Amino acid sequence: EAGVAQSPRYKIIEKRQSVAFWCNPISGHATLYWYQQILGQGPKLLIQFQNNGVVDDSQLPKDRFSAERLKGVDSTLKIQPAKLEDSAVYLCASSLAGLMLAKNIQYFGAGTRLSVL
């Protein structure tokens, strides 16, 4: 079974430029998450989708970050314009996440390492 796919693996941009990340979840996984992991810290949730609807985007800096999951499968996360403090690894995860599941294991992709200069 294929895992969570993310691209690109690395991206270097200058501040005020825009950047987009792509994620394809595990087939059949209804829930998709984007996390930001700053160096030396654990991942922090940015946004959660259930199918193509947003469940939680309370920690997404909406003035510069946007995300979409058209057709309830793959997703893109965009930053426009980027700031120096956006330098981080952006991780995508997916899970089956049905209401009746006792546990909700999230499976992660390899991430995109963003450097903003």
Residue among 25 and 43 whose Cβ is closer to other proteins? 43
In angstroms, give the least distance from the CB of 20 to other proteins.
19
Cis link prior to 81 (omega < 30° from 0)?
Answer: yes
What's the rounded Cα separation, in Å, for the pair 96 and 108? Answer: 13
Distance CA 46, CA 48 (A): 7
Q: Does 75 bind other proteins (CB under 8 A)?
A: no
Site for other proteins, residues 1 to 30, rule: CB under 8 A: none
Binding site residues, other proteins, CB under 8 A: 31, 33, 40-45, 48, 50, 55-56, 89, 91, 93, 95, 97-99, 101-111, 113
